[in-house]
């Protein structure tokens, strides 16, 4: 399959929706710092992880980036959209995630990256008040403006290819409806300006696909995970993936839940709460936006534990998720889990986890990996849903004929086996 991958020649434009947010700015700063030799890309699989090729006793473990034709960090060009006009340096200072020393190392580059006005609708993110926003009479014309932005950025920066990644806020909860089921009905709703069912994130997704740019959905919004977008991605032969970056508490669930199931330990309850003080926490303080996040976070345990197969172990689990906006913590999130286990002969046990994590520090390397892997998939002709990238998401996107895989280690095996196939190597089943 290796010969089918187009080479990563020329510049790759990375267009970030929510460019001035904590996650986005941390991603940009870190990537620029790494390529200047000022930092180490800790947390990035594309930059640090190895991949076993051949039999274990052959001891062949090259770095992924040395054997898979990924874009070089020096070829990345950053841009994007934001509802505030601050350049990425100002946004990074405002986010209070990174130290002044880290910002100063790439200050000139950051000052030069200024966001384009964003497609924004207050009804979809009620706690934010955008001042740097587009105006258009319909969602269709709004999308046309985004398409022009993509073309203009590509031309102005001499980019061969572009990837669009959503790292903006969580939109209010939206169930799938008729307008989302076919491309024709979606386009009709956009032209008729049905703002109650066509979200701003859908405008970005449509624009990216229309321009042949892979689209990554980093929030739990209903957006690219609808039949209309799948139809469009197939028509345009564009790679899409999502949704909702898997960072702190849910990452732990995708490790701990498989442990319980592997050992056939029972579970009676799992209570999760978070305190978070950044813009994401403020947005999620709105019940409608939290509902979107809650659905994403609750889906993990059931899918892993398969209560329908193990009713005596997981048939009556009480699972509760809470996110609390707590400004003093800023980006330093605390996720606390109380897990009530059931052991031999029904005796209860407890597991308690307190993860004091940094939300944007965990998410930034995921953004880097996803843009590089999405570009790789596009160059390899792998259009549509990239389920091999499920490793990175809380709610891995899938069509109606498939069930998502949530087990972190199975996801990781699938990711590496896909890379092996792409470069013409044998996949590994661990039976050797």
pLDDT tens digit string along 75-129? 999 999 999 999 999 999 999 999 999 999 999 999 999 999 999 999 999 888 9
Mean pLDDT over each residue of the chain, to the nearest integer: 94
pLDDT at residue 420, as a whole number: 97
Residues 341 and 238 in one domain: no
C-beta separation of 170 from 284 below 8 A: yes
Residues 92 and 179 in one domain: yes
pLDDT at residue 218, as a whole number: 96
Residues 41 and 71 in one domain: yes
Cis peptide bond prior to 19, omega within 30° of 0: no
For residue 139, pLDDT over 70 is answered with: yes
Residues 259 and 192 in one domain: no
Count of domains forming the chain: 2
Question: Would you place residue 164 in the very low, low, confident or very high pLDDT band (cuts 50, 70, 90)?
Answer: very high
Between 232 and 293, the higher pLDDT residue: 232
Q: Please, what is the Cα angle at 28 between 22 and 31, to 5 degrees?
A: 130
Question: Would you place residue 41 in the very low, low, confident or very high pLDDT band (cuts 50, 70, 90)?
Answer: very high
Q: Among 358, 378, 396, identify where a domain stops.
A: 358
Residues 190 and 306 in one domain: no
Residue given tokens 């095996």 in the structure block: 413
Residues 84 and 154 in one domain: yes
Q: Among 331, 358, 385, identify where a domain stops.
A: 358
Distance, first Cα to last Cα, the chain:
24
- Give me the CATH number covering residue 308: 3.30.360.10
Give the Cα separation of 100 and 90 in Å (integer).
11
Question: Does any domain span residue 429?
Answer: no
Range of the domain at 119: 2-245+361-422
pLDDT at residue 285, as a whole number: 72
Residue in 153, 173, 222, 108 with CA at minimum distance from that of residue 12:
153
Residues 226 and 260 in one domain: no
**Region 374-390: what's the mean pLDDT?**
97
For residue 280, pLDDT over 60 is answered with: yes
C-beta separation of 27 from 370 below 8 A: no
Give the Cα separation of 355 and 333 in Å (integer).
8
- Give me the CATH number covering residue 383: 3.40.50.720
Distances (CA, A) of 73 to 155, 239, 255, 259: 20, 20, 30, 36
pLDDT in tens, 292-312: 777 766 778 988 999 999 999
pLDDT in tens, 21-34: 999 999 999 999 99
Q: Among 336, 358, 380, identify where a domain stops.
A: 358
Residues 314 and 398 in one domain: no
């Amino acid at each position: 399959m290796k010969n089918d991958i187009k080479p990563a020649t020329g510049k790759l434009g990375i267009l970030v929706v929510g460019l001035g947010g904590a996650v986005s700015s941390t991603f940009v700063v870190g990537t620029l710092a790494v390529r200047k030799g000022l930092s180490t890309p800790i947390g990035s699989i594309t930059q640090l992880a190895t991949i076993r090729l051949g039999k274990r006793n052959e001891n062949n473990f090259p770095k992924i980036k040395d054997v898979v034709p990924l874009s070089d960090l020096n070829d990345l060009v950053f841009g994007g959209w934001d509802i505030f006009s601050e350049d990425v340096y100002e946004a990074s200072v405002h986010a209070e995630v990174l130290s002044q020393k880290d910002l100063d190392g790439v200050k000139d580059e950051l000052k030069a990256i200024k966001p384009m006005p964003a497609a924004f609708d207050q009804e979809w993110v009620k706690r934010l008040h955008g001042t740097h926003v587009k105006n258009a009479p319909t969602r269709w014309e709004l999308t046309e403006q985004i398409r022009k932005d993509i073309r203009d950025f590509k031309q102005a920066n001499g980019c061969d290819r572009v990837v669009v990644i959503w790292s903006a806020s969580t939109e209010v909860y939206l169930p799938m409806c008729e307008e989302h089921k076919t491309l024709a009905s979606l386009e009709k709703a956009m032209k008729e300006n049905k703002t109650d069912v066509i979200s701003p994130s859908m405008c970005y997704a449509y624009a990216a696909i229309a321009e042949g740019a892979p689209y990554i959905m980093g929030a739990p919004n209903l957006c690219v995970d609808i039949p209309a977008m799948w139809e469009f991605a197939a028509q345009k032969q564009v790679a899409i993936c999502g949704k909702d970056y898997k960072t702190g508490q849910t990452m732990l669930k995708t490790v701990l839940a498989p442990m319980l199931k592997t050992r056939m330990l029972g579970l009676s309850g799992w209570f999760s709460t978070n305190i978070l003080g950044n813009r994401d926490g403020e947005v999620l303080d709105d019940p409608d936006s939290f509902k979107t996040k809650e659905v994403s976070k609750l889906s993990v345990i059931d899918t892993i534990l398969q209560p329908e197969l193990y009713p005596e172990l997981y048939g009556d689990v009480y699972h509760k998720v809470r996110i609390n906006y707590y400004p003093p913590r800023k980006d330093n999130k605390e996720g606390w889990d109380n897990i009530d286990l059931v052991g031999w002969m029904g005796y209860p046990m407890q597991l308690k986890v307190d993860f004091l994590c940094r939300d944007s520090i965990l998410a930034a390397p995921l953004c880097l990996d996803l843009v590089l892997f999405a570009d790789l998939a596009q160059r390899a002709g792998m259009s549509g849903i990239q389920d091999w990238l499920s490793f990175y998401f809380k709610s891995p996107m899938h069509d109606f004929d498939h069930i998502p895989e949530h087990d972190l280690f199975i996801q990781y095996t699938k990711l590496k086996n896909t890379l092996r196939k792409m470069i013409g190597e044998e996949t590994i089943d661990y039976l050797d």
